[in-house]
Amino acid sequence: MHHDYIGGLLEHTVSVAEICRFLSAHYEGVDGDLLVAGALLHDIGKVEELAYEGTFDYTDEGRLLGHLYMGAEWISSECDGLGGFPPGKKILLKHMILSHHGELEYGSPKRPKTLEAIILHFVENMDAKANAFTEAMADLREGARWTEYSRMFERYLFSGKFE
The tens digit of pLDDT for each residue in 2-42 reads 666 778 889 999 999 999 999 999 999 999 999 999 999 99
8 A C-beta contact, residue 86 and residue 62: no
- The dihedrals phi and psi of 87, each to the nearest 5 degrees, come to -55, -40
8 A C-beta contact, residue 24 and residue 35: yes
How many structural domains does the chain have? 1
The parts of the chain modelled with pLDDT lower than 70 are: 1-4
Domain region containing 119: 8-138
Spatial neighbors of 5 by CB under 8 A, at least 6 apart, are none
The answer to whether position 148 is within a domain reads: no
CA angle at 47 for the pair 45 and 49, rounded to the nearest 5°: 65
Task: Indicate the pTM of the whole model.
Answer: 0.91
The answer to whether position 161 is within a domain reads: no
